[in-house]
Amino acid sequence: MLRLADYIDALNRAVAQGLRWFAVAMVLIQFGIVIGRYVFGVNSIWVQESVLYLHGALFMLAAGYTLLVDKHVRVDIFYAKASAATRRRIDIAGHLVLLLPAMAALGWWSWPSVRNAWKILEGPISVGGIEAVFLLKSLIPLFCLLVALQSVAIVLRLVAERDGA
């Protein structure tokens, strides 16, 4: 069980390692957009949309890593004061009852839109934009997959911890 959890952790770490360059690219491209617009009076919808695509990819695909390093949003009304055993039970229940079903539902309900986008190779959001909305929509099931896998890894570790492994 723990070996599988390690593989999932490694996957999300590797994805995050690649995605950090998206943040650098976003900053550089946005800087170029501002310089181009205000210094040279030129603008490109395609370049503006590239920032949107990078931003979408960064946040959708890094969500599994965010869960791995426990930097996601958490409501700590009772959790912070609970014992370690109670926190473990809350975490297991949260993953099994809330997070995993939510990822399954989001993946299930988004799939027809993603499939249709690929069928027609859905074009740009704006005239002159990037002709790859189908790729942008594909981030949704990838998000679901990476978060669900990381959730499974966390549950495996919590169960192993309870069992004394």
pLDDT tens digits, 27-74? 999 999 999 999 999 999 999 999 999 999 999 999 999 999 998 887
pLDDT score for 31 = 97
| Residue in this structure with the two tokens 């704006």, named with its chain if needed | 126
pLDDT tens digits, 100-127? 999 999 999 999 999 999 999 999 988 8
pLDDT score for 165 = 52
Is the model's pLDDT at 92 over the cut of 90?
A: yes
pLDDT score for 164 = 63
pTM for this structure? 0.91
Please, which residues have CB within 8 angstroms of residue 12's CB and are 6 or more apart in sequence?
64, 65, 67, 68, 146, 149, 150
pLDDT score for 74 = 75
